[in-house]
Structure 1
Amino acid sequence: MGPRSLRRTAALGALVLGAALTLGACGGETGGGKDTAKSGNTGAASGVKLVTPGKIKTCTSLPYPPFQFDQGGKVVGFDVDLIDLAAKKLGVTQEIVDVKFDVIKSGAALNSGTCDVAAAGMTITEERKANLDFTDPYFDEVLGLLVKKGSGVKTLDEAKAKNLKIGVQTGTTSLDLAKKKGFEPVEFDDAGKQILAYQSGQVDVVLQDLPVVNDWLKKPDIAAKFELQETIVSGNQYGFAVKKGGNPELLKTINDSLKAAIADGSWAKMHKQWIGSDPQSTPAPK
Structure 2
Amino acid sequence: MTPNRIRRASAVAALGLVSVLGLAACGSSDSGDGAEPGASNSSGVSTIEAGKLKVCTHLPYKPFQFKEGSEVVGFDVELMDLVAKKLGLEQEIVDISFDQITSGAVFAAKKCDAAAAGTTITDERAKALTFSEPYFDATQALITKKGSGFTDLASLKGKKVGVQTDTTGQQYAEENKAANGYTVVVFDDLATEMAGVLAGRVDAAINDNGVVNDYVKDNPSTEVVTEFDTGEQYGLMFPKTGSEKLVETANEVLKASKEDGSYNEIYKKWFGVDAPK
TM-score over 0.5 (shorter chain)? yes
Residue 256 of structure 1: aligned partner:
252
SS state of the match for residue 217, structure 2?
A: coil
For residues 23-68 of structure 1, what are the alpha-carbon distances to aligned partners after superposition, in whole Å with 9 as ceiling and x for unaligned?
Answer: xxxxxxxxxxxxxxxxx73583342121111000010000000000
Equivalent residues of 1:43, 1:92 under 8 A apart: no
The match for 2:62 among 61, 65, 87 is 65
Residue 209 of structure 2: aligned partner:
210
> Measured at CA, do residues 231 and 132 of structure 1 come closer, stay the same or move farther in structure 2, by a change above 3 Å?
same
The match for 2:226 among 230, 247, 250 is 230
SS state of the match for residue 232, structure 1?
A: strand
1:92 equivalenced with 2:69 (yes/no): no
Bigger fraction of residues in helix: 1
SS state of the match for residue 79, structure 1?
A: helix
> Offset of 1:152 from its aligned partner?
1.5
Distance 1:41 1:51 in 2: 5
For residues 104-148 of structure 1, what are the alpha-carbon distances to aligned partners after superposition, in whole Å with 9 as ceiling and x for unaligned?
Answer: 100001111000101000000000000000000000012221012
Distance 1:263 1:46 in 2: 21
Residue 120 of structure 2: aligned partner:
123
> Offset of 1:151 from its aligned partner?
1.9
Equivalent residues of 1:43, 1:91 under 8 A apart: no
Equivalent residues of 2:145, 2:197 under 8 A apart: no
Alignment-mate amino acid for residue 201 of structure 2:
Q
Question: What is the TM-score when the length of structure 2 is the normalising length?
Answer: 0.82
SS state of the match for residue 113, structure 1?
A: coil
Distance 2:154 2:50 in 1: 51
Specify every segment of 5 or more residues in structure 2 that has no aligned partner in the other structure, as ranges. Answer: 1-36
Paired residues in the alignment total: 237
1:242 equivalenced with 2:238 (yes/no): yes
Residue 55 of structure 1: aligned partner:
52
Question: What is the TM-score when the length of structure 1 is the normalising length?
Answer: 0.79
Specify every segment of 5 or more residues in structure 1 that has no aligned partner in the other structure, as ranges. Answer: 1-39, 282-286
Counterparts in 2 of 1:173-188, with a 5 A limit?
173-182=168-177, 183-188=182-187
> Offset of 1:95 from its aligned partner?
0.3
Higher radius of gyration, 1 or 2: 1
Equivalent residues of 2:39, 2:46 under 8 A apart: no
> CA-atom RMSD, angstroms?
1.4
Counterparts in 2 of 1:118-157, with a 5 A limit?
118-157=115-154
Q: Deviating runs (4+, > 6 A) in structure 1?
A: none
Residue 27 of structure 2: aligned partner:
none
